[in-house]
Amino acid sequence: MLKIGVLASGRGTNLQSIIDSIQRGDLETEIRIVISDRKGAKALARANKYHIPNQYINPDDYATKEEFEQAIINLLEEHKVELVILAGFMRLLTPYFVRHYKNKIMNIHPSLLPAFPGLNAQRQALEYGVKIAGCTVHFADEGMDTGPIILQAAVPVKEGDTEETLAERILQEEHRIYPEAIRLYSEGRLKIEGRVVKVVE
């Protein structure tokens, strides 16, 4: 069974969708550890509720980003994590971390990448005036939201949408496709060829 570690900074709604998928039997995966860089992150409370090991690591305790990331790596390795899941982790990982887990880090982003990378993707979409928004699960690489795309889902932008209403509609799709991407990985069905991720039947 695939062992995953989840990095989260906030509410942990994508973490919850993964937990729900496991509990329903849709996803044969074990969450070994949830790690947050924020002490009061709701993601940690969610992990506690389901008796999942979890830990807050304070970035301020470390002199460099690499030392902070090494503390995360140590914890992930201690729990024998095979795939790292970024679920609202609000820090850009350094090349040091990304190379350590090459093609073994998944991220979800609330836009149809390569459009609107970085922060406030929903605001970017509304300001640009797009008619279709959405979300993307991708493998993390050394850039910001630039890694090979695994799955995407489209969401219509409606008249009168605000950042909040659009974000909520996108989030529903995030909760659907993130567990699905993890399932495909756990079944060995994702093959990376350059920039392209192929789903093998």
Q: What is the pLDDT of residues 138-197, one digit of tens each?
A: 999 999 999 999 999 999 999 999 999 999 999 999 999 999 999 999 999 999 999 999
- Structural domain spans, the chain: 1-101, 108-201
Query: What was the pLDDT predicted at 188?
Result: 97
Query: What was the pLDDT predicted at 35?
Result: 98
Please give the positions annotated as active site. Answer: 109
Distance CA 137, CA 135 (A): 7
Confirm or reject CATH 3.40.50.170 for domain 108-201, answering yes or no.
yes
Distance CA 171, CA 166 (A): 9
DSSP secondary structure code for residue 112 in this structure: -
Angle (CA) 32 23 51, round 5°? 45
Query: What was the pLDDT predicted at 103?
Result: 96
Percentage of residues in the chain having pLDDT higher than 70: 100
Q: Give residues with Cβ within 8 angstroms of 194, minimum separation 6.
A: 148
Q: Tens digit of pLDDT for each residue in 103-138?
A: 999 999 999 999 999 999 999 999 999 999 999 999
Distance CA 7, CA 107 (A): 10
Q: Tens digit of pLDDT for each residue in 16-63?
A: 999 999 999 999 999 999 999 999 999 999 999 999 999 999 999 999
- The sheet that has 190-193: what strands, in order across it? 54-56, 29-36, 2-7, 83-86, 105-109, 132-139, 149-156, 196-199, 190-193
1-101, CATH topology level: Rossmann fold (3.40.50)
Q: Would you place residue 4 in the very low, low, confident or very high pLDDT band (cuts 50, 70, 90)?
A: very high
Q: Give residues with Cβ within 8 angstroms of 167, minimum separation 6.
A: 110, 122
Which ranges of 79-196 would DSSP assign to H, the alpha helix? 95-100, 121-128, 163-186
**Strand 54-56 vs strand 105-109: parallel, antiparallel, or unpaired?**
unpaired
Asked if 1-101 and 108-201 have one fold, the answer is yes
Which ranges of 34-162 would DSSP assign to H, the alpha helix? 42-49, 65-78, 95-100, 121-128
Q: Would you place residue 89 in the very low, low, confident or very high pLDDT band (cuts 50, 70, 90)?
A: very high
pTM of the model: 0.96
Distance CA 147, CA 132 (A): 21
